Amino acid sequence: MGVRRSPSSSLPRRSFLKRTGIGVVAAASGSLSLPARAAENNLTTADPRLFETIYSLRAIRWLKPDPIPEETLKKIVEAGIHAPSGGNRQDWGFILVRDPELKRFIGDRYRETRNKLQTGRPPLSELPPDRQRALRAAVHLAEHLHEVPVILLACSVKEYPPWAQNPRASVATVHGSIYPAVQNMLLACRGLGVGATLTTTHCFFEEELKQKLGVPENMEIAALLPLGFPRGKFGKTTRKPVDEVLYWDRWGSKKA
Ligand SMILES: Cc1cc2nc3c(=O)[nH]c(=O)nc-3n(C[C@H](O)[C@H](O)[C@H](O)COP(=O)(O)O)c2cc1C
């Protein structure tokens, strides 16, 4: 039998795993199995930069207009395509919009949509401070979207054919097959110093956008990511504490 090769490397799979530290096991002790022991060791030895990247992956909406090198953009999309997809079908496509006229079109529609959605909502001043900050950033993005160097569109097929008879399973698999790629690209952006935000406001003008960009009828634009070098700093995300949302065995059970 031939050696299985990692798709992202010309090295044999075993060398790839060794090089990346995946699967390194420690000596067994106590009642823990070898892999469980290794997992415990990894809590202290895992590359901290991985977790720093995850924990500082904030929505970056204040972006500089400076161009992003093509190789950087390619690397971001390449990280995306390493994500899993249902049945490994990889029925996706990624558009990097740099054309000023197209960015202007997207920016105009995005801003109009946001303004419409904002109608009838309470004014910013009536919201809690952290909500005010986030909304002010969202407004800024809507007003300056056309100025960002790149707008990345993550597209995927609208149906998961093997499960087409079950809409719930099909929709879950369609979306579950593109958002991991989107998250990978956000992480790659963070790692490469590029600011980005996952947005879905374009869904309100998706058909028009698809026509403008020639996206096939059977595809949807799952996410729109403005990309650019950040004007401010990356910082820690604020999230509910894990113990508030983590249950063991049954919904609501807090006991491990
Ligand atoms: C499915 C989804 C849709 C989103 N849509 C938008 C959007 O249309 N516009 C926007 O400015 N941010 C959008 N966001 C970004 C969220 O508002 C942001 O991730 C969240 O507020 C957390 O912010 P933080 O990561 O900076 O802490 C979206 C995020 C997700 C996951």
Q: How many alpha carbons fall within 13 Å on the CB side of residue 113?
A: 20
Q: Is the pLDDT of residue 26 over 50?
A: no
Q: Is the pLDDT of residue 62 over 60?
A: yes
pLDDT score, position 18: 53
Which atom of ligand 1 is nearest to 238's Cα? 27
Which atom of ligand 1 is nearest to 237's Cα? 27
Residue closest via CA to ligand 1's atom 9 equals: 199
Residues 82-102 have a mean pLDDT of 98
- Tell me the C-alpha distance between 146 and 108, whole Å: 8
59 C-alpha to center of ligand 1: Å? 6
pLDDT score, position 25: 45
User: What's the pLDDT tens digit per position in 198-228?
Assistant: 999 999 999 999 999 999 999 999 999 999 9
Q: Is the pLDDT of residue 5 over 70?
A: no
- Tell me the C-alpha distance between 85 and 197, whole Å: 21
192 C-alpha to center of ligand 1: Å? 20
The CATH number given to 53-228 is 3.40.109.10
Residues 98-107 have a mean pLDDT of 98
Domains in the chain: boundaries? 1-41, 53-228
Pocket residues: Cβ below 6 A from ligand 1? 58-59, 61, 134, 138, 141, 197-201, 237
Question: Could you say which DSSP state residue 27 is in?
Answer: P
18 C-alpha to center of ligand 1: Å? 37
User: What's the pLDDT tens digit per position in 142-153?
Assistant: 999 999 999 999
Q: Is the pLDDT of residue 2 over 90?
A: no
pLDDT score, position 112: 97
Using CA atoms in the order 101, 184, 5, 20, what is the torsion angle rounded to 10 degrees?
Answer: 130
Beta strands 195-196; 219-228: pairing state: antiparallel
Residues 44-48 have a mean pLDDT of 81
Q: Is the pLDDT of residue 164 over 50?
A: yes
- Tell me the C-alpha distance between 159 and 174, whole Å: 6
201 C-alpha to center of ligand 1: Å? 10
156 C-alpha to center of ligand 1: Å? 20
Residue closest via CA to ligand 1's atom 7 equals: 199
Among 11-15, 21-25, 179-183, 218-222, which stretch is predicted with the lowest mean pLDDT? 21-25
Residues 53-73 have a mean pLDDT of 97
